[in-house]
Each structure stands twice: as C-alpha cells, then as structure tokens.
Structure 1
Amino acid sequence: MPIGIYRRSLVGKRFPGKKYLVAEFKGQGIDLMNEGAEHELANEAGGPISSRIIIRLDAAVESRAAFMDTVNRDVARLTKVKGADGVQLASTISGIIGTVLQKLIPIIDNFASTHPVLNLSWLALSAVYKAVQNQIAEEDIVRDLVEGLREMAGAASECPDLLVIDGTVDVIEEIGRTSLDIALLIHRYANPSIKGKSSIFARTAKYAFSDMSSQIANCKGRCADLTTKLSLRLQIETNYVVKNVQDGVEAVQVEVKEIRGGVKGIQDDQKKRDIDKWMSAPDSSSNYKTAREKHQEGTGSWLVNGSVFRGWKDNPGSVLWLHGGPGCGKTILCSSAIEDVKKSSKGKSSVGYAYFFFDGTSGQSKLAAHESLVRSIIMQFSDQFDGIPPALVNLFEDECNGRSQPLIGALENTLLQILQFFHTAYIIVDALDECSEGSKVLKWIHTIVSQTSDRLHLMVTSRPEPEIKDRLRRLYNLQEINIATQRESDDIHRYIDARLAEIDKWTDPQKKMVRDGLSGGAYGVFRWVSLQFDVLVASCASLAEIEHRLRSLPRDLDEAYAEIIKKSPRPAELVLFLQWIIFGQQDFTAQELAEVALINFDDSGGSLPFCDPSRRYGSSDTVLSTCYGLVVEVQVIIKISHFSVKEFFLSKVIQIGPTKSIRCTESTSHQAIAKTCIAYLLQFNELDSVTRANIDSFPLALYAAQQFAFHVESIRGEDVDATLEHLIQQLVLPIISCALINWHRLQNWHLPLERRIELWDVTPTLYSTIITPLAELVNHLINKGKYGITLHAASDRGGCLAIAQLLLEKGADVNATGGEYGTALQAATCQGLLEVVKLLLENGADVNAMVEHHGTALQAASSRGLFEIAQLLVEKGADANITGGKYGTALQAATCWGRLDIARMLLENGAYVNATGGQYGTALQAASYTGRLEIFLLLLQKGADVNATGGQYGTALQAASCWGALAFSQVLLDKGADVNITGGEYGTALHAASYGGETKIVRLLLERGAEVNAKGGKWGSALQAARATWKDSQAEAIVQLLKEYGALDIEPNFESDNTY
C-alpha cells in the first residue's frame, strides 16, 4: 500500500501545476495501525530520509453499541421474513456481514486495546455494512468469500481461549487482518461508483493492478485455515470439559444407575411411542426396497461415481436435480444415490440422512402429500438421534401432548431445528412430479435450502415439467443431470444382459437378436424394455417368433399399455381392477380385488349388476395375471406398477373388446366402484347373511359398506346413470330391507356383528342412522339434477314400523329383553310410536312387563304424557297399580310430570290413589314436591291420605314444606295432616321448612303445633337445620323465630359455619 507525501508551490495554488513528491511510505497500510509506531519514509529515488510517519485513527467516530443495536434489529428482521422474500434477504451481503459483526463484536471489545488492527477491521466491516444494504452477492466467488468470513467469525466467537491456539503465533491479529482484507475486497466488489450491476470480471478489470480474483482466493484460504484451527481448539476444549464432567459425575452415576436408568428409559420409551403414533409418518421404505430389488448390478454407477454427484455430496448447500422422461429409471437411480449416502454415512453420528418417494399411483396414497414428506423426514432424522429431539418434544407438548395436530408451518420449523443438530444432512426426494401439492413442496425446497445452506445436501428427481424446471432453476446452487444426455444406454445394455443371463430357453444367437432389438427401440426407457422383455419370454420360443415380435414392437409406453389391455383375456375386469386400485380409498390385497370380479354387470342390458358367486376365481393370483405388466404386489398390497400407467389410463380411449371401448375419468371410475359396492351389499338379503363368524368370507364387505357413499358423492352430476339410481332404489325398497339393515351393521363393524338387531332397537334413532345417509345421498344426486331417483321412506315413524314388521316376519321374539329400553314395547312407547305399540301388542307383547328404570310401558307413557298410548295400554290390560321403576306407579309418574289427563284416566280405570313406592312414596307427595296443584287437588278429591308415609320426604307435608309450597301446606294441614309425623330426609315438616329457609311455613307449622325441639332427620333439630340453610338471608330470622317458640341447642349432627 504506497502512501505518498507531496508539496505544491504558491504558484501552483493559483495556477494548476505539477505536484512534487517529498516522501513515500511503501509498507502495508495495516502496519500503520501499530499504536505509537514510527515508520520510515523514502525519497523519490527510493533512498531513506530522516523523517518518520506516525498515523493515528479515531475508531470511535460512532458508538459500537449504538451501531450494533441497528445491526441486531436488521438481523432479527431478516430472520422473521418467510418465503421467497426471506430467501432473497438472507442472501444479501449486509445480512451476512451483520451476523459476522454480531460474532466479532465481543472479540473486538475484549482485544482492540492490545490489537489495534481490530479497530481498523471494525471500521472497514461497519462501512461495508452501510454501503451494501440489500445488495445481493450474485457471483459464487464473492458469495463463498462472505460465507467463509461468517464461518470463521462463528468459530472465533465459540472458541474458549483465543490466546492459546496451536499452529499460529497470534490468532487474534490474524482474525483482524483477514477480516480487514475481506472487508476491503467486498467494498471494491460492491463499490457504488461502478455503474450498474457489473460482474466480477468488470470489477476485476477496474482493479487489475491488484489482481482482485487472486486476492479473493487468498482471503478464502486464510479464512478456511483460521476456521479449521479455531474449530480444532474448540473441539479440544469441549472434549476436555466433557471429560471433566464425566469424571465428576461417574461416582454419582454408579449409585443411582439402576433408579435413574429405569425411570428415564420408561419415560423416553413411552413418549417416543406416543410421538410416533401422533406423527403417523408415512413410510416410503417399501418403494426404496422395491427399487433396489429391480436394480441390476453395475447400473447407475455413472451417477454415483460421477463428478456432479460427488460434488453434491461434498458441498453443503448444494441441490442436485436428476430429471428425465417417464420410465427412464429415475427411481432406480434415486435408490442408488440413497444406497451410496447410507454407506458413506454409516458410523458417523454427526451425519444424518432421510429420503422420501412420492407416489401418485393411487387416489388415497399418503405418499402424494407435501405434509407426508415433512413428517417422514422429521421422523427419519429423529430416529438417528440418541433420544428424542427437543424440538419434536416441544412440538408434541405445544399440541396438548398430541391431542391436536400441528400446522404444516410448525412441522417445517421443527424439521429446521432438528437439522441444526447435524453437521451434515442429506435429503433425497424421488418423483416431485407425483406430489399432489407441487407448489407447496417447491416453496418448501427454497425455504429449507436457504436456511440450512451450511449443512444440507438436497437431491430431487422428477420429470422436467415446466413449473418444476422454473422453480428449481431459481436456486443459485443447483446442479442438474439430464438422464437423456447421460450414458443410460450402457445401463440398458447391462439390464438386458442381466435378464438374458436368467433365460435358458434361448440360444446365444437368439439372445443377441433380443439384445439388439430391445436396445435399438428403448430410447432410454427402461420400463418399455422391461415390458417387451416379459412379452418375448412368455410368447417366443424360436428365432422366427422372436423376429416376428421384434418387428411388431410397440413404439412407446402408451402403445405397450394398450396392447396389454387389448390382449388380456378379461379386459373389462382389468379396467375395473385399475379403477379400484387408483381411486379406492384404501390399499387392496389380491383377495379383496378378486371380490370385484363377482359382480356381473350383464352388459346385454338384461338386469342390474348383481353379485354372482359363480364368477369367483379359483385363486386370487388371477388378479395379478389379469393385470400383468400394469400392477405389482408389494407386501401383499396391489399397486399400479408405474405412474405412467395411471396417466395412460386416464388419458386414452381404452379398447376392451372387438366393438367396445371406454374412456376412463375419475368421475366414471367412482361410479363403477359405487355400483360394485352396492351390488356387493345387495347379496346380504337375510338378517344373518353376515356375522362375526363369516365376515372373513366377504373380504370386500366392510369397504363396500363404509365407502360406497363417498364414491357416489364423487361422481359428477352428468355421469350419474340410471343403473346407479336403480341400484340405490333396490337397496332401500321396500322401505327397510335386510340388505339395508346389514349395510347399517357393517358401517358399525366395531360393534358385535353377531348381535342381531332386535325389536327393542326399533327407534327413530336407529332408523335415522340407516336412512339418513341414504337420504343425504339422494339429496346429493338431486342437487346434481338427477330428479328421477326417489326414496320411499316418508318418515322416521313409518320406517320404524317397517323395521318392526320385517323383524317380526323373520321370527323376532316380541318379549325379548335388552337394549336401552329393556323391551320392544317399552322402546316403542318411550319414542311415542303408537303404530309400533299396536303392532307389538297384536303380536303378543307383555303389556305389564317391568323394566328396572322405566318401570312398565304404562309408567313410561304416563311420564311422557302419551295419552293415546297410555289409553291403549290400559285397554289392552295394563295394570295401573303395578309398582316398580323410578316412579313406583303409573299414577305417580303422571303426577310428577303434571299429566292431568292421564292421571284422571288412570284414576277412572282403577288406579289406587294411595299406592306407595317409587321416589316420592305416594302420588300426593309427588304432587306436593313438584307443585302440580290441579293434580294435587284431584288426588285429595279422590281420597288421598294426607298422612301416608314413605319416599324421599316422608310425608306430603314435609315435601311441600321443604320447597316453600305454602298453599299446599295450608291445604294439607286443613285436611288433617299431622304436623309432627317423623320420617324422610329431614325428619319433620318443621325441619324441612327450616332448612329450606321458608320463614312463613315455619311460622305456620309452629302455629299449628309443631314440636320445636323434635329430634331426627339430617340435621337433628329444626334449629340446626335453620343454621345449615342455603338461604343465608333467612337463616337468622328463622333461628330467632324458633327460639321464640322455645328451641334449645341440641348437639348437631354436622358442623355448621353459621352461628346465631
């Protein structure tokens, strides 16, 4: 850094003239920062002179604390910005320099006095921070330099002792010098005086004399060396501290090992099981396993041994995109990449990896959702922890310990926190194009790459679809591999040779012909080769047959799939199987799909589809042979063999016979499945058609019952045809059928299937659970413009009658007991079903059957005010005086609920007015307690005994007194009620009135001769009852009144808080 000292003459001040060099300093500018040091100067000829130079810089122009407050706010703001804006802000030079300053400020504050270079580095870095606000580092060389500075600053801030670092004399001085040099380089790079956004090459040209590129490289190397030394020192210190801690607690661990280990193990194990269940992360390892099984030795080596893949593995923050057309082997190559990462990561606890295979081959697949990807990756990295990641535990606890599910944003943040525990993390994702939420997963890729650039290596595969291509190419660190431009032909040759090696029936010339023929038509599509090889093996035994087949090979995958369907012996069933596999709401086994073939669709138009047992396959393996080439069996589940099968199926007209072809859509596929389900259910036309004992004989029964409504609702209005309408009508006509009842039972399969629906189940609730779903379906179809369909079920009442009639016809025991109501008669009565009651009585129902809670049917009708049913029961011989149940008698039940007309009818038909039993003892006590005045007077008119005892309150007078029925109490006393009868909860009427806080009734009873000191009841005496009253405002008045009548304190039966 040359510094010159010049002089100018007076004449030169007035007229511009030549400057004259007096002295020159040719050392490094940074050397001038040595406090108090004098530096030699030279003349123009280079010789020494006696003058010296001393330079002092004031580094306190602006308060460091104030400046750092601004930096901290800026950095905090950057961390809160989400999405694409956050990605851009996080890559600004100022954003990175801000974090560097945060790391270095403690070092500067501590050591600037002894290392002045730190003051200069502070000035330079803070000046750069101000100069480059929001400017993005567009060139990799500068971006890497800034990132290197951040890594070095981070390592320095964490180092326990900067004064003792092996391998360098003064690491603090080197930190300052390196930071200063980098700051100057960045300032040159971002110099606002350079017009526009010129590249690094333009800037290098401007500063050619200083060789800017080589200076950047030199600074990067110095940063890397410092980072290594600092990290090594940190590791040494950490190991030393850990060793001391371990030594210090070793003795304690020995003493508590058994207790501590046992508790912790149970705690951790249980929480881990809870979290695993709560996360319910889908497992795509079967896709990986399948891909590895298809992999042929030697194929894919060009990828994992290539420089691009190796560079991806070695460089954190890199993204690798492997793309190619359908069937070109992306998934197999992806599995090779996973295998390589697994091997290289083995035994390295600081290295983690996870993978996910998107799978869009079925409509309900969890492997097609973005959230499934995130959940799966979280759990895979968590399984590589020694215990449960704290971030995952926090998420679980934040969601009420698993009682609620987190938002996708919370899951993504948790993954980011988990990744921070790994020094290196690999994520490999296959088939982005099969994700049902492509935009979401592409946005997530940008976010996770930007926020984990110091450790994450991300690889994805997909077809080169426009949206994927556009979004991924916005990543600055993206590397691409186009499979079509690679040596895939070598892999195809290896694949064919491996397959040929397994064939014994062909000669070497025949094998060569097959090899040449398939290689020539493959165009890099492995799947096409595989399909054609299978056809050749199955159908060609001679050279002539091989030649003929090779001359007529399908041109592409679509033609290959069309040929498979056309040549199938069961093309219609094959199409139906594919519809079920793709759009079914669960995974199916071959055994379950074989049941689909039982449905005879009778394309001649002679009848509705029906279940035909004669169509049952001898072996469920027939499903696989029917669909050979289009499906695979993975762990007993039948899946579409490749995503391209689904695309072909939904995009082409399919020939399923010499004169018949169809175009399958999602809507028409749902209709085909719905028809199959209903036809399957209609075979259950007896009450005991399906039971717990035989349910395994109907593998599709539960699915058909529980999901056919979903498939109906998924049909577009214009696709609903008359066949589907008639099938639904057949299920519900007559109003109730055995098939409909069995559908209801299968919907509730968790209940015991062996239990028949009995007559006591005949309620509107049961009926509505059967009919309502169908009614909703009908309304759904009507809303779509299908007016022809009708549902012959006018009301709950009519429906229940139909169920009862059906069950009676099938031999149901009319007097069987059980269920909520005990008997069918009781159930029908409680629900107010008059016609059903009549039907049951006509068929021999016991009119006086007693049920524990409800009593008799007459009591139930009386309490509910069902006059017509009560009258009918009396006419059919119901005994009004039978006692039992909650209310004791029908008269007491009617009285409790104020059913005057029924009470009068019962009395007129022989009900005993003084019958005892039930909660209130007598009807009169019930009327007194509930305040039913008209019935109260009617009962007295009919001769009710005012002194009858029993029930909760002992007498009618005590019941009236307790709840403030003054008029009732006066009438009872006028009718001769004994004021001092004891019994019931409170002992006497005076005790009851005192506890109830009824001052007027207390006075009335005392005036009528109530014994003020009578003992008994809950409180022992009236005085104690008054003190325990819940009406505090009346307590003192009643106590004084009782004392006026001579009440004495008697040892109480309770502890009272009130004293007067």
Structure 2
Amino acid sequence: MAEIIAGVSIASSFIQLVDFGTKVVSRLHDYRSDFQELPKVFRDLHIQLPLLLRTIEALRSKAESSTLPGLKDHLVPILDGCKNELQSLDQLLTDLLPVTNSWREKLKKASRSIFQESKLERMHKTLRQYTDTLMFYSIAEAQNGPSTLGEEVDTQNEATEAEMERIRRWVKGPDPHINYQSALNQRLDKTGSWFLEGNEYQNWKAQDKSLLWVNGIPGSGKSVLSASIIEDVQQSRPGLALAFFYFSFNDPEKQLFDSFCRSIFQQLTRQALIIPKPIKELFRSCTSGRRTPTVYELVKVLGDLVGAFPGCYLIVDALDESSEPDNVLRLLKDLWSRENIPHLHILMTSRKERDIELSLSGFVADEDCVSLQTKSVDEDIRRYVQYCWDHDPKFKKWRKNSELKAQVEKSLMLKASGMFRWASCQMDELRKCINVKQLRNALVSLPKDLDETYERILCGIEEQNREYALRVLRWLAFANSTLTTLEVAEIVAIDAEGEGAFDKDEVLSDPEDIIALCSSLVTIRESAVVLAHYSVQEYLVSSRACQGPAKHFALEARHSNAIVACGCLMYLLHLADGSMHDLKKLKLFYPLALYSARQWWTHASQASESCADRICILANKLDGNYRGFTICLSLHDPDDNNNQGRRSTNEKPTPELLYHASCAGIIPLIRQLMSAGANVNHAGGYLGTSLQAAIVKKHSPAVKMLLAGGAHVDVCGGRYGSVLNAACATNSENIVQQLIVAGADVNLQADTHGSPLQVACCTGSDKVLQLLLKAGANSRGVQSFADRSILRLHHGCRETPRG
C-alpha cells in the first residue's frame, strides 16, 4: 500500500511540475515573440527551463518502473522544491514582464527588473542545480537498469541491497542532531534572518561550488546561526546531500577529528542512493563490517562518498572548539580539490582566531569570509530581550510598565556589542530582582564584558554553597564525557581536596538545584549538565580568573585532573564498603560509579606531580581492597574494552595494578609501585606484561621507566606475540628504537604474528622497517608471510600463521 501511495504521489508531482514549467516557458516564449527580445536577466532562464523540462520528462518514465531502492522517496521532495521555485519565478515574471505593447509600460518594468537581477540570477542557479540533481538520478537509474537475467540476478540484487543497508549502519559517530536541536530550541523566530537573506549566504547556496567562513566574537550566536543555516538548506535544497557537525567543548568526543569523520561518513551513507565501489570494498575488507575502519581509511574514501551525490553541503560549527582543527581543514581542502566533486558547498563557523585565519589563507578568499557584525547581531539580541520581557513569568509583575521595558532594552543594547551570551547572563540576573529599585540599580551597574559578568556571578554564590559550586564547575570543565544530572548530584558530595571523602548526606536531593548552585554558568540539556558556554571554561582556566575577586574558583588543568582522579577513587572506595554485588543495582544506586571506574585512569595520567602521592595512596588502597578493585574492573576493565561487564564482581582480576597503570601511562603510580617492589615482568593481561601494555598504548615515558626498572625486552606472549612485535604493530618508531637500544632480539620468532620484521611489513611503516633492517633483521621469507597474513593482522585477529 505504501508503495502504491508513493507511486501516485510521484506521478502527481511529475505532472504538476511539467504543467507548471511549461506555463512559465510559454510566458517567456510569448513575450519574446511579441517584443522580439527578452531583458538580459531572463535570457539564461529561457535557455535553462527547457533543459529542466526535458530532464523531467526523461526521468518520469524511468521513475515509474524503477528498481533502484529509495529513488521515489528521494525524488518527491526534489520535485516539490523545484515546483516551489518555479512558482516563485512565475510570480516574479508577472511583476516584471509587461503584458501590453506600451513602450512606457515596457520601460517601467524593464527598469524594475534591473533591481531584481541578483534574485533572478540566484533563481537561475537554483534551477540549474535542480536540473543537475534530476539528471544525476536519471543516470543512476539508467546504470541500475531493469534485471533481465532471471531469479539468480534478482537474488544478487537483494544481497546487494542487504549489503548497502549494512553499510549504512556500519560506521557510527557522535550524533550532531543533539547539538542542532539544542541550538534550535534557543532560537527565536526570525533570528538570523538578516544573514539568511543576505547576498553572501544566498550566493554560497546557489553557486556550483562555494566556500564560506562565518566568524564572530565569543557569545555572538554562531551555533544558533548554524542551526538556522542547516534548517534552511534542508528545506531549500532537497535531493542534495547535507552533513553537519558541531564541535563542542562540553563533549570531549565531539572535539576529535576521528569523531568528525565518522559522523560525516555515517550521515552521508544513510543519504546515499548508491554506495560507491570504494566504500563497498572497504566494508568487505573490514570483514563485512565486523571491524570498524580507522580514521585514515575513512579519509581515503570520503571523497568518493561525497562525489556520489549530485551536490553536497558540509556545515562545520565551532571549528575553534576542535582539538585537531588542522586535520579538519586538511580534509576539507582535500575534498574541495577533488575533480570528482564539482558541486560542493562548505560552510564553517568559528571565532576569528589567528591560527585558524592563517590555516584558511589561500583556501578561503576574502570575499568568502563573513564577520558577524555587531549591528546585525544586536537586532537579534533586541528581539531576544523583548521576548524574555513579554513571555518570562519572572517579568510578569512589570509587564505593563512600558517605560521600564524601554529602559531595560536600551541599557542592554547599549552594552551588548553583539554578545548574545552577555545579554543572556544579564537577563538571568535581572530575573532575580524583586522590586523596581533593584532592577534599576542592576541596569546602572551592568558589567562591561563577559569576564566581569562571570566574576560577579561567582562572587554572588552564597558562602555555604561555594565549595559545592567549585566541585561542580571543576568536574564539568575537565570531564572526559558528558555528565548527567544524577552524576553531578553525587559529585557535590565528594570532598576530594579536604580530609573527607564521599558523604551520601551531601548528595543533592533535587538534581535541578545544580542550576541554583551555579546560576548562568551551567545549563541542563536533556538530563545532561554542561557549562553554559565555551567562554565560561575559558574564563575559569584563564590567568584573569586567578587575579580577580573570584580567584577561589580559578582552575588549573593538571591540578584539577588530580582532584577529579582522587574524587573518582574515593567514590569507588565508598562502593567497596557496601555489600551490593549486582552491577545493575550498583549503577542505579551509585550513578557516578561507571564514570569513576572508566575515567580515574585518564584523569590520573593527566594529573600534576604535586598531587601524585595522594593518587598513589588511594589507588593502592583500592588495589588492596579485594571487593573494591574487583568492582572497579567489573564496571570497566581497561584491559578488555570489547568485553565490558563479563568479569564477575567475585572474580579476582589477574593483571596487577602496575599493568593497569602502564596501560594508562600514570607515571607517578608506576614509579611508586616499582619502588615498592612490584614485579615489572608479571604477565597477566591481554596485552602481556606491563611493558607490552605501555608499548601498545604508546606511553613512551612509561616504556622508558619500565625498561630502567628491569623489564625484559624478549618476553614472548601477549596480544602481538612479543615485546618488539607490539611496538612494530603500533608503528611506534621511537619505542622500537628504545627496545633495540635495550637489546631486543630483532629476529625473535613469536608463536603468533611471526618476527618483528614480518609484523612491520603488515603495518606498512617504512621507518620501522628501516630500523629493524639496520639492526640486523633477517628478511628471508617475509614477503610470503605478508601476502598471507596482512589482512588478518590488519583486521585485528589474535593469531596469525607463522612464515
């Protein structure tokens, strides 16, 4: 039934579009016949429209009998969008083309058409895009073709369709739609309309290939504007691919180049009507999707994926919040230079930072750089202030006082200077006023900038709540993943700096009180607590915060990571004192348990040396607590990321603490454990010994320390068969050199994976190969081994046959 409805819908769309397009062409043709000429701005349209109609007619018969999966679903919004564009053109022609033989009327309308030239030019480019898009699908259908080879081919087509569906579900990246929806929720009606209607944006959208860099000061509303752009492209460019990504300081995963690539790949494969051959080959080489491709493998095929669309829009928000902006720009430049991607549109937003500006020079032309001007943004801010006053219950008591409303609007607009974030914070402060006098006094003493705004908010936190607020802000600023309201409610009760530990009585009874604690500095989005803006974290870690009256709240990265690590360990030790064994119940009653077990290692590895002793004491205390350390590894075993939750809470972990410290690269803890007599050659982990764990995780300082402490370099066993094999498999040139200097046998033949040279051949590192050959590695038999084992090793098999 659904297919019948879809067929009727598309047939109707084709008929309406052809009829309407014919009408518009006829209007232009009649005018040209009557007056022997067309105004210049209509000539290109008079050529383009017949081509569009021929393309529609050619596709019409193919679409009705198409065997290409999803073609009809792709075509309906394209045809509707094309029809809407033709309707707009028809209305414009009615206004501009004279219908009488009066030369006065002709002159009047011809002069009017001059002022519509840019609009008509954009319409022409848009219709040309629709023509190219429909032509693309027509060619795709022709290449797919009807099957004439009987049931065998039909079965093969079904298998191909099933594979395409598996490919679309294969690679998973962080979901940018969460950020997109959050930004849309903050947007008021008509916010950013000045930009969407401007020439720079309209030209970017209509040109065959275009770049645009939108930059602005902190808090100028760039992310909300990005959401408006995404929504507009979705509505006005059906049939063309759209992929977007929000880099976010609040989510460490959304700062990574790897995450960006996976998200873009995931979005585009789910929109693709046809999966390009290189994507299928990569999928099959990854054992039909059982292995996740590396970021480098994805980068190699992204160009083929983007080129599989008739046009593609890529929108990248907050480039300055990426931890690897150079890699992101390198990829975008590569896509831009590809000859197989003739219709690519890239839009980026960021602050106007010098490093980004230099990276974009030679890539983005001056005319494609748009700075968000204070005057334009201020109109959006004015609309926001008016909306708050008219709709927020806190201002209801003064709503009839038009003079007071005008004073609020005037005072805020005078100092906003294009900073949406600043205006938002001031409105939050004004909400706290209980009478007109307080309100007027607040308007007279408005802070001059965001720094002073944050300083006042922090100093205004009640004395009894300051320590709680500091704990929340510290964890939010340095958390390795997004924290929920329930997790933050527990964090308030962890005294990681004082003499105490975790006090259950200090847990927030109502997690919503987090906002009361930290005011405008934090916000809650879908049960997740985050810092309200990038500028909040920037202020807290700046030298400016250290020098002002709010210096109690100033944060230093390594010191803060140490405190968070201690907090995680204290929380886990508290769990050890209980009697609960069921992991599901444990995670339910102790919401911070999973984060603590997963992340204390990472925080400890990034901690300052001055706090190392305390981390070591707590870690050893946890290690000495049979129940505590077992619970920790049951929640998260860093030695076995693919088998979470398999370890029983009653099962004693085999690897020693030194092994796990080496996995995480926690230098002070490694040093302390070795001084206490820990066995550096104990082999109990999946990766092998502590040395092998440090090698695989590429912690070079830890490798150096373990070697100095007597770690054996010719131990066999572990994930890669031997110590030197592990270094070769991970392409660690520096570590390979360290091991060779330490006397590692370059010809040691392991029971699995063969010799170091054989492993290096599979990983393809020329420099590692050179190091091994220079140290006397025997190359005999390597080629035959590599031929038989390269795929298996690359796919991550535990064992590979020896040569």
1:289–1:476 Cα change, 3 Å: closer
What is the match of residue 716 of structure 1?
A: 608
Q: Structure 2: which amino acid aligns with 1:641?
A: A
Checking the alignment, whether the CA contact within 8 Å between 2:317 and 2:349 is kept in structure 1 is: yes
Corresponding residue number in structure 1 for 2:491: 596
Match of 1:342 in 2: 234
The answer to whether the aligner puts 1:571 opposite 2:458 as a matched pair is: no
* Counterpart Cα distance in 1 of 2:477 and 2:376: 34
Question: 1:624 and 2:515 equivalent?
Answer: yes
Cα pair distance change 1:666/1:600, threshold 3 Å: closer
What are the residue-to-residue correspondences of 1:321-400 with 2, within 5 Å?
321-346=213-238, 349=239, 351-362=240-251, 365-400=252-287
Is 1:487 aligned to 2:376, yes or no?
yes
1:692 and 2:583 correspond = yes
Per-residue CA deviation, residues 502-529 of structure 1 (Å, 9 max, x unaligned), is 1422122221111111111101000100
Q: Would the alpha carbon gap of residues 686 and 527 (structure 1) be closer, same or farther in structure 2, given more than 3 Å must change? A: closer
Tell me the CA shift for residue 454 of structure 1: 2.7
The reply on whether 1:515 has 2:409 as its aligned counterpart is yes
User: Counterpart of 2:362 in structure 1: which amino acid?
Assistant: R
Question: Of the two, which has the highest radius of gyration?
Answer: 1
Q: Is the 8 A contact 2:275 2:308 kept in 1?
A: no
Distance 1:689 1:233, change over 3 A: closer
Structure 2 Cα separation of the partners of residues 261 and 283 of structure 1: 35
Equivalent residue letter for 1:331:
S
One-letter amino acid of the counterpart of residue 452, structure 2: E
Q: Aligned partner of 1:421: which letter?
A: A
CA RMSD of aligned residues (A): 4.1
The answer to whether the 8 Å contact 1:505/1:541 transfers is no
| Higher RCO (CA 8 Å, separation ≥ 6 residues) | 2
Residue 457 (structure 1) aligned to one of 342, 345, 367:
345
Look up the match of 2:316. Answer: 429
Post-superposition offset of 1:284: 0.8
Q: How many residues align?
A: 545
Query: For residues 374 and 551 of structure 2, what CA distance do their matches in structure 1 show?
Result: 42
What's the offset of the Cα at 1:643?
A: 1.4
Q: Is the aligned partner of 1:642 residue 2:529?
A: no
Quote the residue 1:678 is aligned against: 569
2:596 alignment partner in structure 1:
704
- State the 1:678 CA deviation: 1.5
Give, in whole Å, the separation in 2 of the partners of 1:457 and 1:481.
15
Task: Kindly provide the amino acid, as one letter, of the partner of residue 466 in structure 2.
Answer: P
TM superposition shift of 1:632: 2.4
Q: 1:242 to 1:427 in 2, by over 3 A?
A: closer
Per-residue displacement from partner, 1:1035-1054 (whole Å, max 9, x unpaired)? xxxxxxxxxxxxxxxxxxxx
2:483–2:529 CA contact under 8 A, matched in 1: yes
Distance 1:792 1:729, change over 3 A: farther
| Superposed CA offset, 1:31-84 (max 9, x none) | xxxxxxxxxxxxxxxxxxxxxxxxxxxxxxxxxxxxxxxxxxxxxxxxxxxxxx
Aligned to 1:499: 388
Per the alignment, in what secondary structure is the counterpart of residue 516 of structure 1?
A: helix
Q: Would the alpha carbon gap of residues 601 and 371 (structure 1) be closer, same or farther in structure 2, given more than 3 Å must change?
A: closer
CA distance in 2, matches of 1:657, 1:698: 37
- Structure 1 CA distance, aligned partners of 2:567 and 2:427? 35
| TM-superposition CA deviations, 1:17-41 (whole Å, max 9, x none) | xxxxxxxxxxxxxxxxxxxxxxxxx
1:443: how far off? 2.2
Match of 1:596, as an amino acid? I
CA deviations 1:964-1000 (Å, max 9, x no partner) are xxxxxxxxxxxxxxxxxxxxxxxxxxxxxxxxxxxxx
The 1-side partners of 2:131 and 2:614 are apart by: 77
SS in 2 for 1:628: helix
* Structure-1 separation of matches of 2:417 and 2:327: 33
Correspondence 1:446 to 2:337: no
Question: Which position in structure 1 is the counterpart of 2:481?
Answer: 586
Task: Look up the SS of the partner of 2:362 in the other structure.
Answer: coil
* CA 1:622–1:790: 2 relative to 1, 3 Å: farther
**Aligned residue in 2 for 1:974:** none
- 1:536 equivalent to 2:430? Answer yes
Moved more, 433-442 or 381-390: 381-390
Indicate the residue corresponding to 2:441 in structure 1.
548
Aligned to 1:416: 303
Tell me which amino acid in the other structure corresponds to 1:633: I
Matches within 5 A, 1:861-1010: none
Query: Is 2:503 the counterpart of 1:612?
Result: yes
SS across alignment from 1:600: coil
3-state DSSP of counterpart to 1:684? helix
Q: Match of 1:661, SS?
A: helix
* Distance in 1, Cα, partners of 2:502 & 2:136: 77
Q: Structure 1 residues 416 and 562 mapped into 2: Cα distance closer, same or farther (>3 Å)?
A: same
1:175 matched residue in structure 2: none
CA 1:481 to 1:399, structure 2 compared with 1: closer, same or farther past 3 Å?
A: same
Structure 2, unaligned runs of 5 or more: 1-123, 638-642, 683-803
Q: Deviations over 1:657-678 (max 9, x none)?
A: 9997254122111111111111
Deviation at 1:704, TM superposition (A): 1.8
Match of 2:172 in 1: 280
Shift of residue 260, structure 1, vs aligned partner: 7.6
Cα pair 1:430 1:462 within 8 Å, conserved: yes
CA distance, structure 1, for counterparts of residue 493 and residue 178 of structure 2: 31
Indicate the residue corresponding to 1:781 in structure 2: 668
- The percentage of counterpart residues that share the same residue type is 25
TM-score, normalisation: structure 2 = 0.60
- Would you say the 8 A contact 2:303–2:335 is kept in 1? yes
Cα deviation, residue 459, structure 1: 1.1
- Matched with 2:78 is none
Q: Which residue in 1 is equivalent to 2:97?
A: none
Cα offsets for 1:333-360 (capped at 9, x unmatched): 12111121111113xx3x2222111112
Q: CA deviation at 1:614?
A: 1.6
| 1:669 pairs with one of 546, 551, 560 | 560
Deviation at residue 389 of structure 1 after TM alignment: 4.1
- Classify 1:375/1:613 alpha carbon distance in 2 versus 1 (closer, same or farther; 3 Å): closer
Measured after TM superposition, the shift of residue 637 of structure 1 is 1.9
Structure 1 letter corresponding to 2:204: W
Q: CA deviation at 1:269?
A: 4.1
Structure 1 distance, partners of 2:259, 2:352, is: 23
Specify the alignment match of 1:526 in structure 2.
420
Distance 2:585 2:383 in 1: 51
Q: Secondary structure at the match of 2:397?
A: coil
Structure 1 residue matching 2:519: 3-state secondary structure: coil
Q: What is the 5 A alignment of 1:747-826? A: 747=636, 750-751=644-645, 756-757=650-651, 766=653, 768-769=655-656, 772-773=659-660, 780-781=667-668
Contact 1:360 1:436 in 2 (8 A): no
